[in-house]
Each structure stands twice: as C-alpha cells, then as structure tokens.
Amino acid sequence: MSALDEREEGAMSGGDDVIAALATPFGEAAIAVVRLSGADVEPVAAKVLRSRLPMTQWPDRTAVLATVVDGSGAEIDEVLATLYRAPASYTGETVLEISGHGGVLVAQKVLEALFEAGARAARPGEFTQRAFMNGKLDLTQAEAVMDLIRARSGQAMEAARRQLGGALGRETMALRQQLIEVTAELEAYIDFPEEDIDAEAGQAMQARLREVQGRVGELLATADRGRILREGLSTAIVGEPNVGKSSLLNFLSGEDRAIVSERPGTTRDTVEGFINLRGVPLRLIDTAGLRESGDEIERLGMERSRRALEAADLVLLVVDGSCERREPLPEHEGMLLVLNKADRHRHESWEGVDGVWVSCLERTGVDELAERVWRLAMAGEGRASAALPAINARHQACLRRAREALDAALGALVDGLEIEFVAADLREAVAAIGEIAGKIEVDEVLGEIFGRFCIGK
C-alpha cells in the first residue's frame, strides 16, 4: 500500500494505538509535559487520571485539574491535563497533554502508568508523522517543524516559519498541477494516433514546461542557502602555529573551547564551535597550525586541517600581524585574512594588505570581522533574502530528478518523438515534484524523515 493510500485511510480511522512521550526536555524543570495521541486516548488516560468530572465530560482544549495514579491506585502527581478531541488537534487524532511537576522521576512514573494502561512509547517524530498522515501538514511543513525547533539564527527561523506556513508545499504542488495538465493534454493525443499535435498547441505546451523548468531551477538554486541555514556555514580557521587561531575561536564563540598556549603546535585535533554572527550561523572549525616540522600527531592534525580547509565554505586565514610577513599568502575562494595581535603592533610589511585587524587578547575588531564575514557569506546569489525558500537535501534530490525528467520531456517534444515518450518523462517529473510535499509512494522515505525528529514531537 502506498503512503498516500495510508494517509487517506489514516484520516478516516486515526492511529491504531495510543502513543505517549515526554514532550519537554528530560531533566529538572518547572513542568514536564507528557503527550498522548491516538483514537483511544480517552479510555487509556481515564485509567490513570482522577478528576472531579469524568473525562467524557471534560471540555475540549481546557486545562482540567487531575491526579495521576498508578495501576495500584497510588498517587503519582497532581497535574493539569488538556484534551484535544479529534480532529481538532496537532496530530488530527485525540491528543492529551498532561502538565505535571518537572522532575525526572515524576515524569517517568507518569509515563510508566500510561504504558501500563495501554499506551506505548512514541518513536521520534511520530506525533508529526501522524499529523502528516492525517493531512494536517504536508511533508515540507512536517520537516519545517524540526527546522524551526533546531533554528539557531533569525534567518533560519524565518525560513522555517515560512516553510511551516506551507509556502514551499503550495508552490511545488502548483508546479505539479501544471505538469499534470500538460500531461493530460498530451495523453489526449495518444488516444487519437492519427492526429498530430498542431504547431500552436505544441508551442504552448513547450512554453508551459519551460516555465516549470525555470522555476525548478530557481528552487534548486536555494539549496546552498538551505544547507547553510540548517547546518551553518562551515568556516575553517587556518594559519601557521601560534598565530592565535584557537584564541580566535574562543573569542568569537564567547566560550573557552580550545586550548590556547604560547607553545606552537598546541592544537592537534580540529575543534568546532557554533556561533551566530548577526544572523549568519557559522560552524567554526579551529585547526592545527600548518608548518613543515612537527611530530607524528601534529602531522596527522595538519592533515585534518587541510581536509577542513578543502571542505569549508569560508576560510579565516589567521596571521600574526605583529610579525613580519614572509611567505606569499595562500589563495582560496571565500577566504578572509585576519591579522591578529593588533594590540602588540602592526608590522609595516602588512600595509596595504586586504584584511581585518583584530586582537583576541583585548577583544577588539570583532565588528569589522563580523561585517566582512557576513558580506563573504552572503556573496552567493540571493542568499541574504529571507523571502526565498531554503530547500533541504531531500527537496534538492527530488527537484534534480524532476529537472532531468523535464529536460528529457522537452527534448522529446522538440524532436517530435512519440508522444508516449514525452508523457512518460512528464509522469516521472510529476512524481518527483509531488514527493516534495508528500505525494510519496515509498514508505522508507517517511521513516527516513521522521526518524530524525525528537521524541515527543
């Protein structure tokens, strides 16, 4: 059975079992929220919740004071419980949220009581997966839920919010619709083999396909931005030993992450720190200083430095600006020269060299550095605009497939090949674009997506 059929069936029958999970982080907190979802939430929860009114009489979406008891009737916690009867809930099934006292043991006991009463532990993302199955969200929206939770910069949050609002899903479904219409028009000719496509209609179809093709290309161009917003711009800090690379990582991240010492060759392994530089998320990677000598371990470290350098979106090349400039500077796309130790003195050999002066010791120069990094990071076309979508790797793969199929269809149409060939390519493009919002035939794709969620979401 395809996921689509399942989705429709799910909408009618609801989930078969009641799932439960802690929706708040595990640990000590003011409150802990345990969430349940399923068609039989009420009969299951009624076994463990005691309240003045029986649960059947609880008003919808209203907090009710209740006591949680275990199987033997022993009281566990006094809680506020809110019932969202199907279909007006996050998952589309009946949902119950139990807000109890935050505490590792209390929340654990509440969950155990619920499991004993017939609920089972939810898998990561299972609540959202059910919301998708019940048609509450399309797949891009479901993915945006996690993007929003994980957003570490204002831009990432804004992009996730837009996607959660359904912008990407609507757009891809509209493109899919256009393709379906052209396919239908073509297929009408298949039924009348004696008729050729007349020139005007053929032109019109080509024009429509080109329009979709253009938009697919534009969406594909946002993949880089999407990756950067989700994962951060990988930024390697490189340079000779002892110039202050680790100091720069600590300075920018505001944390004492990497060991700093006056001994050259201190950093052996790469050390990472995530920072948010004026809304640009950066994954800073401190590396081992590059030099000729060094022992075995240091050489291995340098090997890692080179790999980080190759893979980086951005490179901060750190030099000691108080010392004389010796070798020619390496070149790298997206590289910025950072002249450190400005507090000592600015050696005249650096005059006229394009770079940013900082002092990690006295913590100066960060504003200009942020400005320059921002400009470099956003140099990529259109990356800075919050209004653009920011597709993820899965969307990118679907769009690439769609683009290939579209290219083939257009080629076949232009060459006047058999209409069946064109239609087959178009159907492939329809399927590929449809997958983005969740018109999916393969269940593994769903498992793959929701498996990355946090439990309780």
Ligand X SMILES: Nc1nc2c(ncn2[C@@H]2O[C@H](COP(=O)(O)OP(=O)(O)OP(=O)(O)O)[C@@H](O)[C@H]2O)c(=O)[nH]1
Asked if 221 interacts with ligand X (CB under 6 A), we say: no
Nearest residue to ligand X, by Cβ distance, number only:
289
Residue 103 contacts which entry, ligand X, Mg ion, none (Cβ below 5-8 A, type-dependent): none
Binding segment for Mg ion among 40-48, 144-152, 192-200, 238-246 (CB under 5 A)? 238-246
In order of 26, 32, 190, 408, 438, the CA distances from 181 in angstroms are 50, 50, 15, 18, 19
| Distance linking the first and last C-alpha atoms of the chain | 25
Residue 363 contacts which entry, ligand X, Mg ion, none (Cβ below 5-8 A, type-dependent): none
Of the candidates 94, 153, 235, 246, which one interacts with Mg ion according to CB under 5 A? 246
Phi, psi of 357 (to 5 degrees): -85, 130
Sketch the per residue contact string, 113 through 132, with ligand X: x for CB under 6 A, - otherwise: --------------------
How many CB atoms within 10 Å of residue 115? 15
Considering beta carbons, is residue 346 or 427 the nearer one to ligand X? 346
Strands in 233-239's sheet, in edge-to-edge order, are: 271-277, 280-286, 233-239, 314-320, 335-340, 356-357
Of the candidates 163, 213, 235, 267, which one interacts with ligand X according to CB under 6 A? 267
Q: How many angstroms separate the CA atoms of 284 and 281, rounded?
A: 9
Considering beta carbons, is residue 252 or 360 the nearer one to ligand X? 360
Asked if 341 interacts with ligand X (CB under 6 A), we say: yes
In order of 314, 332, 338, 355, the CA distances from 352 in angstroms are 22, 19, 14, 9
Report in angstroms how near the CB of residue 361 gets to ligand X at its nearest: 3
Strands in 63-69's sheet, in edge-to-edge order, are: 49-50, 63-69, 75-84, 95-101, 31-37, 19-22, 120-121
Which region, left, alpha or beta, applies to residue 438 given φ > 0 means left and ψ of -120 to 50 means alpha?
A: left
Residue 34 contacts which entry, Mg ion, ligand X, none (Cβ below 5-8 A, type-dependent): none
- Three-state DSSP at 420 gives helix
Considering beta carbons, is residue 202 or 264 the nearer one to ligand X? 264
Residue 361 contacts which entry, Mg ion, ligand X, none (Cβ below 5-8 A, type-dependent): ligand X
Of the candidates 242, 253, 392, 396, which one interacts with ligand X according to CB under 6 A? 242
- Which residues 174-213 are close enough to bind Mg ion by CB under 5 A? none
Considering beta carbons, is residue 260 or 423 the nearer one to ligand X? 260
Binding segment for ligand X among 58-66, 113-121, 218-226, 256-264 (CB under 6 A)? 256-264
Of the candidates 82, 141, 153, 246, which one interacts with ligand X according to CB under 6 A? 246
Sketch the per residue contact string, 274 through 313, with ligand X: x for CB under 6 A, - otherwise: --------------xx------------------------
Of the candidates 261, 269, 371, 416, which one interacts with ligand X according to CB under 6 A? 261
Asked if 266 interacts with ligand X (CB under 6 A), we say: yes
Asked if 245 interacts with ligand X (CB under 6 A), we say: yes
Report in angstroms how near the CB of residue 333 gets to Mg ion at its nearest: 24
How many CB atoms within 10 Å of residue 418? 11
Task: Identify whether the C-beta of residue 372 lies closer than 8 Å to the C-beta of residue 336.
Answer: yes
Report in angstroms how near the CB of residue 282 gets to Mg ion at its nearest: 18
Residues 6+ apart with CB under 8 A from 252: 273, 275, 277, 282, 284, 366, 369
Asked if 359 interacts with ligand X (CB under 6 A), we say: yes
Q: How many angstroms separate the CA atoms of 113 and 422, rounded?
A: 59
Asked if 267 interacts with Mg ion (CB under 5 A), we say: yes
Residue 268 contacts which entry, Mg ion, ligand X, none (Cβ below 5-8 A, type-dependent): none
Binding segment for Mg ion among 65-73, 108-116, 239-247, 293-301 (CB under 5 A)? 239-247
Report in angstroms how near the CB of residue 321 gets to ligand X at its nearest: 9
Strand-pair partners of 314:
235
Q: Burial-class residue 195 by CB neighbours within 10 Å (0-12, 13-18, 19+).
A: exposed
* # binding residues, ligand X (CB under 6 A): 23
Task: Identify whether the C-beta of residue 313 lies closer than 8 Å to the C-beta of residue 235.
Answer: yes
Residue 37 contacts which entry, ligand X, Mg ion, none (Cβ below 5-8 A, type-dependent): none
Residues 6+ apart with CB under 8 A from 236: 285, 287, 305, 308, 309, 311, 312, 314, 315, 316
Residue with tokens 């579209």: 406
Task: Identify whether the C-beta of residue 348 lies closer than 8 Å to the C-beta of residue 187.
Answer: no
139-150 and 443-450 are packed helices; what angle lies between their axes, rounded to 10 degrees? 20
DSSP state for residue 364 in the 8-state scheme: B
Asked if 305 interacts with Mg ion (CB under 5 A), we say: no
Residues in contact with Mg ion by CB under 5 A are 245-246, 266-267
Residues in contact with ligand X by CB under 6 A are 241-247, 260-262, 264-267, 288-289, 340-341, 343-344, 359-361
